[in-house]
Amino acid sequence: MYVCNFLAYLAVTLPLMGFGIFVFAVTTPYKEYDLIREGAQTDDPQKVAAAKAAAHDLGGKIIGLALVLASAIFHAVSLWDLVIWGIVGTVFQVLVFYLFEWLTPFKVVSEIPKGNISVGIFTSRLSIAAGLLMAALISY
């Protein structure tokens, strides 16, 4: 019984993570995977920095979503409940990113491709914090 539940929740969680990563990649005007790939194949310091900034940004969103999904798995009453929370968590991460973009005096969408690693790290931590808060809200 426990193995079946594990496999069922795993079979739903992995596609939700994939869906979230896909949504994160298509909702930003810069292409994280291209920046990361280009930064790995060059000695250009700006491209290397852009790759690091993009990796921090995307990685933080993934961790934030994983926190939401972990809480949803723990508190879900059904697989559909998990699906709903996974979609809500993904949308929430995107909204937090664009709210941050709107509130800051600089533009995240232009700073990350320019190689501003500090902005990438900051957005990463913001996404992790948003994921933690969302995870706590699910349990309430």
User: Tens digits of per-residue pLDDT, 95-130?
Assistant: 999 999 999 998 989 999 999 999 999 999 999 999
Provide the pLDDT for residue 117.
97
- Which residue range forms the structural domain that includes residue 96? 2-139
Pick the more confident residue, 45 or 2: 45
User: Whole-prediction pTM value?
Assistant: 0.91
C-alpha 140/C-alpha 136 separation (Å) is: 7
- Check pLDDT > 90 for residue 2: no
Spatial contact of 52 and 113, defined as CB atoms under 8 Å apart: no
Looking at the chain, how many residues does it have?
Answer: 140
Domain count, the chain: 1
Provide the pLDDT for residue 53.
96
Provide the pLDDT for residue 116.
96
Provide the pLDDT for residue 139.
76
